[in-house]
Structure 1
Amino acid sequence: MTGTIDSEALAWDKQNGLLPVIVQDAHTLRVLMLGYMNRDALAATLASGKVTFYSRSKQRLWMKGESSGHVLDLVGIATDCDADTLLVQVHPHGATCHLQRASCFETAPGDDLMALDALVAQRASTRPQGSYTTRLLESGIRRIAQKVGEEGVETALAAVAQDDAALLGEAADLLYHLTVLLRARGLSLQDAKQVLADRRG
């Protein structure tokens, strides 16, 4: 994905100067909404870094979140093979849907591990009181690393001596604590996924 695109290479004439825009969470890969852009909306999006659409009902440019504050920060933009549809990846601030849901497509699939990573990052930033993640982060790297070790042993033992449900529960605990450990080091699950991608060559 890239933050720049050649507007003149797009097939604006196919739909009376409008292109459908699929909006996707860059972290979880969940589809959030569908909108439309004209040339001016695309230019405004690229210039501001905030996703702006052309509202067919209001007949004007409309920056997502201009009223609610739930803006979409542009991460990347790409076109399809026919140059008549855009895929826009974003970091959303709050609910995207007017029904206060994360996505306008209620059951749209996403990457649950990346959703966990985003939640841990948010907790690391805000440190809400009463949060286990907050307590864990404030306990320091050594304690978090110890927890990862404990969860790893418990996962291995469950694989040998317990049923599938117990193994899956321990594996989920291990993934959560590993996510916190990475975040405590200023890293993320996405960084670990990139290492896997690099290994695939």
Structure 2
Amino acid sequence: MKVDFNKSKDGLVPAIIQDASTKNVLMLGYMNQEALDKTMQTGKVTFFSRSKERLWTKGEESGHFLTVREIKEDCDRDTLLVSVTPNGPTCHTGSDTCWNGENRASFGFLTELESVIAERQNAANSENSYVASLFEKGINKIAQKVGEEAVELVIEAKDSNEELFLNEGADLLFHYLILLRAKGLGLEDIVKVLEQRH
């Protein structure tokens, strides 16, 4: 890396700290050449603290170190993206992130869909909700629906109608999310299993 520390008067560049697994931004700090060198040597994120006016390894007091997985420089060579594995909360307040957010994996729209399914599971009236009615019928009915959708997907996979195949795939995934919820699990749990296998 050839980081251009001379672009700023104080010789510091922003270092964006991102969880290597969840991809959430955890915090922002500043590094000079010495801080970057120490970070690369030790494998633990070290900043130049502007308030303490010295090098500061994140976690040196709390024990909540940030273990480095990868460091990238941006196209202008004046900002760093540091992928890490956090050992505990990142913020000094005890929060997972310095924006007071939870450091949980997000799967975009699928995470939103999981939230909707959870809301429907707790709905008082199942007459107006297909999902709530499935939960009311119990795990056997939900599992049966997953099986039916899986068979329909296999049938469509043998034909050449892409639209029908995608629709059946969406139906299977939707019902599988319901089944996961019924078992008290979610996509995060499946991803953990896949990561362990990988």
- Pick the TM interval, shorter chain: 0.5 to 0.7
Q: Measured at CA, do residues 152 and 52 of structure 1 come closer, stay the same or move farther in structure 2, by a change above 3 Å?
A: farther
CA distance, structure 2, for counterparts of residue 49 and residue 37 of structure 1 = 14
Gaps of 5+ in 2: 108-139, 153-173
Aligned 8 A contact 1:151 1:174 in 2: no
Instruction: Quickly say closer, same or farther: Cα 1:178–1:39, change in 2 above 3 A.
Output: closer
Question: Residues 50-199 of structure 1: matches in 2 within 5 Å?
Answer: 50-107=44-101, 111-112=105-106, 153-154=143-144, 156=146, 168-172=177-181, 173=185, 175=187, 178-179=190-191, 182=194, 186-187=196-197, 191=198
Distance 1:35 1:155, change over 3 A: farther
Residue 13 (structure 1) aligns with: 6
Partners of 2:32 and 2:192 lie apart in 1 by 42
SS of match in other structure, 2:59: coil
Name stretches of at least 5 consecutive residues in structure 1 with no aligned partner.
1-5, 114-149, 192-201
Report the residue type matching 1:111 in the other structure: A
Structure number with bigger Rg:
2
**How far is the alpha carbon of 1:106 from its aligned partner?**
2.3
Conservation of the 8 A alpha-carbon contact between 1:155 and 1:171: no
Q: Note the C-alpha offset of 1:109.
A: 7.7
After the TM superposition, list the runs of 4 or more consecutive aligned residues in structure 1 that deviate by more than 3 angstroms: 107-110, 150-155, 157-160, 165-168, 171-183
| Matched residue count | 140
Higher RCO, Cα 8 Å, sep 6+: 1
Equivalent-residue separation in structure 1 for 2:20 and 2:192 (angstroms): 20
The TM-score normalised by the length of structure 1 is 0.59
Q: Which letter maps to 2:65?
A: V
Q: Deviations over 1:73-122 (max 9, x none)?
A: 01000011100000000000000001101100224786336xxxxxxxxx
In percent, how many aligned pairs have the same letter?
A: 42
Aligned to 1:23: 17
2:4 alignment partner AA: A
Cα separation, 1, equivalents of 2:180 and 2:72 = 36
